[in-house]
Amino acid sequence: MAIGVGLRIGRVVSTAVIASNEPGTPDPVVLARDTVLHVDHDGTTSLGEVTRGEEARTIAGFLTRVGDATGITASDGRMYRAEDAMATAIHCLLTECHPLPTFGGMDRDSDPGYAATYPSHWDPVTVATLRAALDYADLRHVDLVSDAQAAAAWYASEISETPGQLVGVFHLDDGGSTVTLVRSGVPAGKAYRTPAKGAASPAAQLATALGSFGWMPSNLEAVVVMGDGLVARDRTHIQEIANSLATKLTVRSLVGPGPEQTAALGAAILAAGFTPARESTKTRIGLPPSYDQTDVLTGGLVRLRELEERRRVPEDEDDEEQLPARSLIAASADPETREAGRTRTVVILAVAVLVLLAVVFAVFL
């Protein structure tokens, strides 16, 4: 395939990248939107900007809550599953990408590829939860890759002269930092997550991750530094981290095109059919426009902060409003899951009745 669409739902900014691996085609198309969902009274949803109709509610802060059984609270008090909100955000980004440009392989009617990223420190259960939400939302054609895998693919495609080498990815966000080691496009073991409070230096975090595998900084070809959330607004700070890693570990260290865009671009590169372990410099896809040109904020940060300050479930809401709502674009679970839930309910009720009968019998004896 020659067209790849990469998607990344960030805490503050979400990004879509459309790229082609055909020689001579234009640089990737980049879309950036606030990570705030707007829902009209008729159910129309949009990401990052108010829809044309009358707004009923907004939803934000769902990235860090995927898999949380308590759900998230919309601006009007309704409850939603965070993974459903994230699937809807991906759907909105995809809608904005179409119709796809006609450059590259689209001229030959080849099928485009789609890939979305998730935080590298997520456990398999959380990733599976998002995968299920995407599948039920008719987004089965969207592959999932970690932020670190996507960042390493960007480096292998655009910078590296020797694909398949060990690459470190240092990802800073508002909650802390994540270190992931990637070789030949595959993470080497788990990602190392460090909370922001009392965290060791970036160099120490990376050295610890390397040491757990018996590696040294000299085993690294490079380190890619990324950012997410409000901390990524400070590009100077992100660059300072890259500089400190280069100095202390004596390793090539660089910041991708826009701290929040690197993963989306890497996802588009992977979706276009690039394989880091085998490809060479002959398949360069090209860098996107500058960060300043694509850093599009629509005023959603104020709304985002307001929503995050809300309590998860208002005390004065009735029971019906406190129940997790259905997905914005799909039901809350597939038929098998719903059937399993009903089966569990019947078993629980049966056990409760038996226990009650036993108690009554014991009292009368």
d(CA 267, CA 144): 9
For residue 365 the two structure tokens come to 């004896």
pLDDT (mean) for 163-175: 92
pLDDT of residue 128: 97
According to DSSP, the residues that pair with 146 across neighbouring strands are: 118
Give yes or no for residue 327 having a pLDDT over 70: no
The number of beta carbons lying within 10 Å of the beta carbon of residue 217 is: 17
pLDDT of residue 141: 95
pLDDT (mean) for 54-65: 89
d(CA 146, CA 191): 10
pLDDT (mean) for 7-35: 82
Positive or negative, the CA dihedral 89, 188, 262, 173 is positive
Per-domain residue ranges for the chain? 3-161+258-309, 335-365
Tell me the percentage of the chain whose pLDDT exceeds 70.
70
The DSSP code sequence of 206-227 is HHHHHHTTT--GGG-SEEEEEE
Q: What is the pTM of this model?
A: 0.78
**DSSP alpha helix (H) spans, the chain:** 82-97, 124-136, 147-158, 202-211, 235-249, 262-271, 291-294, 300-309, 319-322, 335-364
Using 50, 70 and 90 to split pLDDT, how confident is the model at 110? low
pLDDT digits (tens, 9 = 90+) for 191-226: 999 999 889 999 999 999 999 999 999 999 999 999
CATH assignment of 3-161+258-309, among 3.40.50.11540, 3.30.460.10, 1.10.287.4070, 3.30.420.40:
3.30.420.40
Give yes or no for residue 181 having a pLDDT over 70: yes
pLDDT winner (highest mean) among 107-121, 278-292, 312-326, 332-346? 107-121
Give yes or no for residue 339 having a pLDDT over 50: no
pLDDT of residue 261: 86
pLDDT of residue 253: 93
Positive or negative, the CA dihedral 62, 140, 102, 258 is positive
Q: Do residues 166 and 221 touch, judged by C-beta distance below 8 A?
A: yes
Query: CB-hemisphere CA count at 13 Å for 296?
Result: 13
For residue 294 the two structure tokens come to 């694509």
Q: Do residues 116 and 9 touch, judged by C-beta distance below 8 A?
A: yes
Least confident among 199-203, 238-242, 289-293:
289-293
